[in-house]
Amino acid sequence: MALARPTDPRIAAGVIALAAITLLIGGAFLGLLFEGAHDLSGAWAAFDPYLLRVVRFTLWQAALSTLLSVVPALLVARALSRHPRFFGRGFILQLFALPLALPAIVAALGILALYGRAGYFAGLSSAVGGQDWPGIYGLSGILVAHVFFNLPLATRLFLEALQTIPSDQWRLASQLGMGARPAFRLIEWPALRAALPGIAGLVFMLCVTSFTIVLTLGGGPAATTLEVGIYQALRFDFDPARAVTLTFLQIALTFVVVLVLTRLGANVAGDANLPVAPRRYPQVNGAEASLNAALIVGALLFVAGPMAATVTAGLSADIGRLAGEAAVRQATLTSAAFALLSALLSVMLSLALTMARGALALNRRSGPKTLLEHATDTGAGFVLVVPPIVIGAGWFLLLRHAGDVFAIAPLMVVTVNAVMAMPFALRAVRPAYDAASARHERLCAQLGISGLARWRLIDWPSMRRPLATAFAFAMALSLGDLGVIALFGSDSVQTLPYLLLARMGSYRTQDAAGLALLLGLVCLALVLAADRLGKGTARDV
Amino acid sequence: MSDRATGGKGMPVRLDRVSFSYGEAPLGFDVAFTAAQITAIMGPSGSGKSTLLNLVAGFETPQAGRVLIGGADVGAAPPAARPVSMVFQENNLFAHLSVEQNVGLGRSPSLRLAEADRAAIADALVRTGLAGKEKRLPRELSGGERQRVALARVLVRDRPVLLLDEPFASLGPALRDDMLDLVAGLHAERGMTVLFVTHQPQDARRIAEQVVFLDNGAVAATGTADDFFAGAGPEAFQRYIGDNAGHAVSRDIARKPT
C-alpha cells in the first residue's frame, strides 16, 4: 500500500544505519586489502604446513563438537517431549536456557574449576585412586565447553521442532495403538530430521567462529583455530601478513558455512524462547521411562556442573578484596559504560533498519523489492558472516599506520559489539514492530498521525517493551564479550572479561573465579530481564 | 482541523475510469456515488470492494484515472488530507490509548486538544452511547463498543464522506442491527456520503438507498436498493444473494435444518 512517502524519515534512518554498518565492515576490509597488497609475498608465505594444521583443527573440532552436541541433544529432547509433565521439567528447560546468557569466558572458568588439572574432579580422583587427573586442556577442553553451550541450545531447538507436531497426530497415534518405536519412526523422526540440518549447521557455525573457548581452553599450537591464530598473529607474533591470510581464510570459511546454513533454512541467530508442552501423551513403559530419566539426568548434570563450579569457586574467592581493587573497579566501570553504549547503539541500529524495512515494504505496491529493502531486510544477517575478530583485525591493521591502535579501543569495542548483537536485537524488535505496524499503519495514515507525534503516541508505547528486551540482551552479549577487546585491550583500557583473561594468564585463578561469578550473575540478570520483558503482553503497558 | 471538514454536507464521490492492479487481475472502476446518500457496495469475495474503498481513502493509488471527491481530484492527496473517514472491520483503535484518546485523535493527530475539542469528544461519546467509558482501554470494551468508539471518532472528524469496510461483520445479528441504526442516525444528522461494503443483504436493505454491485473487479450494476431487492437487479446479483436471502426471516429458517 502506498502509505509511506519516499521522504519518510523512517527510510532516512535506515539508510544512515546501513551506512554506519557498511563503514564499520568496509573499513575492516580496506585494512585487510591494504595490508595484503602491501605485503603480498608475506601473505602467500603464510600458507605453510602450520596454517593447514590450523584450518584442519578448526574444522575438526567444530565437526566433533557438533556431533557430540547434536546427537545427545536429539535423544534428550525426545525424552523431554515424551514426558511433558514431571517435577522439575520447567526448571530444566530454564537451566538449558542459561548457557546462552553465560559469557564464554565464565563458562570456560567453570569448566576448568570442575574438570581442570586443579579442579574438583582432580581432587576427587587423587583422593579416591591416588592417580593424576589428566585435566582438560586442548581438544578435550574445547569439546566439553562447546558441548556445554550447544547441547542445551540444540535440545531446546529439537524440542521446539517436536512441539510443532500437531496434537491430532498424537491422538491418532494413541487411537491406532502405536508404541514408542513406531511413534518415533513415523511421527517424531520426520519432525526431528527436518530440523536436524538447520540445528547441526547452527552449532557447527558457532563452533567454527568460537574464539574465547579456544583461547582459554585450547592449549598451544596443537589446538589453535583460525580466530585464535589471527589474535596471536596480531598480538604476539606481530605478523600482519599472516593475520591477513588467516582472516581471509576465516571469512571464506564462515561464508561457505552461512551459505550452506541459509540453504538449510537454519536460524543463525539462535533462540531464547522457552517451549512449554501442556499436552498429554500415551503411557510410556517402564524401560523407556528409565532410559529417558537417565538421559535427562545426565544432560542436567553435564550442564549444571560447570555452573555450580562457577558459583562455588567464585564464592571461595576473596570477593571483598577484589571489590576493593582499583583495577577491578575500573574494569567494571569500563565494562558497564561500553555495554550500555553498545546496547543503545545496537537497539537504535535495529530499530532504524526495522522501520526503514517496514516503510519500504509499504511504499512498494507489488513490484520486486529494491536493493535498499533487501539490505534493510537480510543485510543485517550478513554481519554474522564477519566475526568480530575479523572486523577488529581489519581495523587494527588499518589504524596501526595512523598511530596508536589502542587509543580507539573504546570505539571499536562499542561499535563491533553493537553490530554483533544486532541479529539478536532484531529478533526482539522486528516482529513487534511489524505487528504494531500492521495494526496502526492505515489508522495513522487516515488520521494524519506522523513524525514525532506518531513516535510519542503510537510507536513508543507499543515498542518500549521489545526495545527493552533487545537492550538487555544486547547489553549482556556486549558485557561478556571477549573478542575485540582481546585485540584492542591494554593496561589503560580493560573490561571485566579482559581482566579475567589477564588474571587467568597470571595464574591468579581465585581472582578469576570471583570475577567470573560477578560477570556471570550480571549477564544472567540481564538475560532474565530481557526474557521477562519479552514475555509481558501489551496488558502491562 | 475543521478546515477540511464541511460541517456535515455530503460530497459526491466519483471514480473516473480508475484502473488498479495488485499484480494479478486488473481492476477497473468507473462509478459515481450520490452525495449525502448511503450506498451499499456488494459483491463476491475478491470482486474489489475493499480496494474500491482503499482507492477513495488514499491507501491505494490508481495506476490510471481520477478519484474525485466533491468535484476535486484527490489523487495526489495523502489519506489524512482527504475529506474522508473510514471504519475498518477491526484495528480501528490503538490498544494502548483510552477511548477518549482514540476519539481525540480524530481532532488532533498529536492529541493537543483545546476546550472545544474536548466538548466535541464528550458529545460524540454520549451520542454513540459510550458515556462513562471515556477512560477505558479498548480491551475493556466489547466488539460492538469498539466500533462505537470508531464511529464517535468519525463524528468528531466530521468529514463529508464516510467509508465503512464491513465494520460490523464480526458482530451478532441483534448488535449489528443496533449499529446499523446508529449509522443511519448519524447519517440523518450529518448527511455525509456513506459507502458501505457489506456481505449481508439484510444490512444493505436496512440502511442503504443505493446499491453498487461489483463482480470480477468491475462495477457490474448500479441501482436503488428497492429495485435490487425487489428482484430487478442483474442476474449475477440474484445469484450472489441466493434465492431467498435479503429477507431477514428466511435466513433463520434456512439455518434450522443444519
Rg of chain A over Cα atoms, rounded to whole angstroms, equals: 24
Q: How far is CA A378 from the centre of its chain?
A: 18
Whole-angstrom distance, CA of residue A381 vs CA of residue A162: 26
Architecture of domain A9-38+317-541: Orthogonal Bundle (1.10)
C-alpha cell at A127: 583422593
Name the 3-class secondary structure at A233.
helix
Which three cell numbers, joined as nine digits, stand for B203?
Answer: 444490512
- Tens of each residue's pLDDT in chain B, 258 residues: 334 444 457 899 999 999 998 777 789 999 999 999 999 999 998 889 999 999 999 888 898 999 999 999 998 888 888 999 999 988 889 888 999 999 999 998 888 899 999 999 999 999 999 999 999 999 999 989 999 999 999 999 999 999 999 999 888 888 899 999 999 999 999 999 999 999 888 899 999 999 999 998 899 999 998 888 888 778 888 888 875 444 444 444 443 333
- Report d(CA A237, CA A491) in Å as an integer: 19
Please report the pLDDT score of residue B256 as a whole number. 37
A447 in contact with B, Cβ within 8 Å: yes
Which residues on neighbouring strands pair with residue B196, listed in sequence order?
Answer: B40, B164
Strands B193-197 and B38-42: parallel
Spell out which residues of chain A touch residue B81, defining contact as CB-CB under 8 Å.
448
Q: With bands split at pLDDT 50, 70 and 90, how would you rate the model's confidence at A396?
A: confident
Residue A57 CB coordination number (10 Å)? 22
B61 contacts on A by Cβ (under 8 Å):
2, 365
DSSP A163-207: HTS-HHHHHHHHHTT--HHHHIIIIIHHHHHHHHHHHHHHHHHHH
User: Quick one: cell of A349?
Assistant: 541500529
Same fold for the pair A9-38+317-541 and A41-316: yes
Q: Which are the contacts of A469, defined by CB distance < 8 A and separation ≥ 6?
A: A428, A530, A531, A533, A534
Does pLDDT of A226 surpass 60?
Answer: yes
The whole-angstrom distance between A360's CA and the closest CA on chain B is 15
Percent of chain A topping pLDDT 90: 14
Q: How many CB pairs under 8 A join A and B?
A: 77
Q: List C-alpha distances in Å: A195 to A78, A188, A190, B203.
A: 13, 11, 9, 50
Task: Grade residue A254 by pLDDT with cuts at 50, 70 and 90.
Answer: confident
A510 pLDDT tier (thresholds 50, 70, 90): confident
Measured in degrees and rounded to the nearest 5, phi and psi for residue B164 equal -115, 115
Report the 10 Å Cβ neighbour count for A237.
Answer: 11
Would you state the pLDDT for residue A391? 87
- B161 - beta bridge partners? B84, B193
Q: What ipTM was assigned to the predicted interfaces of this complex?
A: 0.78
A437 touches B at CB < 8 Å: no
β-sheet bridge partners, residue A83: none
Say which of B23, B84, B94 has its CB closest to residue A440. Answer: B94
Helix (H, G, I), strand (E, B) or coil at A77: helix
Provide the phi-psi class of A505: left if phi over 0, else alpha when psi is between -120 and 50, else beta.
alpha
A contact test, residue of B27, B59, B89 with most A CBs within 10 A: B59
Instruction: For residues A534 and A258, give the distance between their C-alpha atoms in angstroms, rounded to a whole number.
Output: 28
Cell of A220: 598451544
- Tens of pLDDT, residue by residue over A257-289, are 878 877 766 554 444 444 444 455 556 777 888
Q: Which of B22, B54, B80 sits opposite A447 (nearest CB)?
A: B80
Q: Is B74 in CB contact (< 8 Å) with chain A?
A: no
**Quick one: residue A280, left, alpha or beta (phi over 0 = left, psi -120 to 50 = alpha)?**
beta
Which of B80, B84, B111 lies at the smallest CB-CB distance from A457? B111
- State the pTM of this model: 0.80
- pLDDT confidence of residue A160: 85
Chain A contact set for B92 (CB, 8 A): 443
A164 CA to chain B: closest CA distance, Å? 29
Whether residue A435 lies within 8 A of chain B, CB to CB, comes out as no
Contact A449 B78 (CB under 8 A): no
Please indicate whether, in this complex, the C-beta atoms of B95 and A446 are within 8 angstroms of each other.
no
Cα-Cα-Cα-Cα dihedral sign, residues A66, A69, A70, A72: positive
Closest-CA residue in chain B for A451? B110
Contact A457 B110 (CB under 8 A): yes
Chain A residues lying within 8 Å of B88, measured CB to CB: 442-443
Does A47 or A411 have the greater pLDDT score? A411
Give the per-residue pLDDT at A365.
60
Q: How distant is the Cα of B176 from the closest Cα of chain A, in angstroms?
A: 23
Type of residue numbered B81: A
Backbone angles phi, psi at B64, to 5 degrees: -150, 160
Strand, coil or helix: what is A239?
coil
- Identify all chain A residues contacting B85, using CB atoms and an 8 Å cutoff: 446
Q: Where are the domains of chain A?
A: 9-38+317-541, 41-316
Q: What is the predicted pLDDT for the residue at B210? A: 93
The segment with the largest mean pLDDT, out of A75-89, A356-370, B80-94, is B80-94
Beta strand B13-21 pairing with B64-69: antiparallel
Q: Do A538 and B94 touch (CB under 8 A)?
A: no
Other CB atoms closer than 10 Å to residue A263's CB: what's the count?
11
- Give the chain B residue nearest A435 (alpha carbons): B91
Checking if the pLDDT of A81 tops 90, the result is no
Residue B35: exposed, middle, or buried by beta-carbon count in 10 A (0-12, 13-18, 19+)? middle
Does residue A1 sit at the B interface (CB-CB below 8 Å)? yes
3-state DSSP of chain B: CCCCCCCCCCCCEEEEEEEEECCCCEEEEEEEECCCCEEEEECCCCCCHHHHHHHHHCCCCCCEEEEEECCEECCCCCHHHCCEEEECCCCCCCCCCCHHHHHHCCCCCCCCCCHHHHHHHHHHHHHCCCCCCCCCCHHHCCHHHHHHHHHHHHHHHCCCEEEEECCCCCCCHHHHHHHHHHHHHHHHHHCCEEEEECCCHHHHHHHCCEEEEEECCEEEEEEEHHHHHHHHCCHHHHHHHCCCCCCHHHHHHHHCCC
Cα distances (Å, whole numbers) of residue A515 to A87, A109, A304 = 34, 10, 19
All residues of chain B having their beta carbon less than 8 Å from the beta carbon of residue A443 are 88, 91-92, 94
Q: Are residues A457 and B97, on separate chains, in Cβ contact within 8 Å? A: yes
For residues B180 and B207, is the Cβ–Cβ distance under 8 A? yes
Question: A41-316: which CATH topology?
Answer: MetI-like fold (1.10.3720)
Of A443, A446, A447, A540, which to mutate for an interface test with B (greatest number of B Cβ within 10 Å)? A446
Q: What one-letter code names the amino acid at A294?
A: A
Given a contact cutoff of 8 angstroms between Cβ atoms, the answer to whether A21 and A360 are in contact is no
Each residue of A297-347: pLDDT tens digit?
999 999 999 999 889 888 888 778 888 888 888 989 999 999 999 999 999
Query: Looking at residue A492, what DSSP letter applies?
Result: S
**How confident is the model at residue B42, as a pLDDT?**
93
Task: Judge: A445–B94 Cβ closer than 8 Å, yes or no.
Answer: no
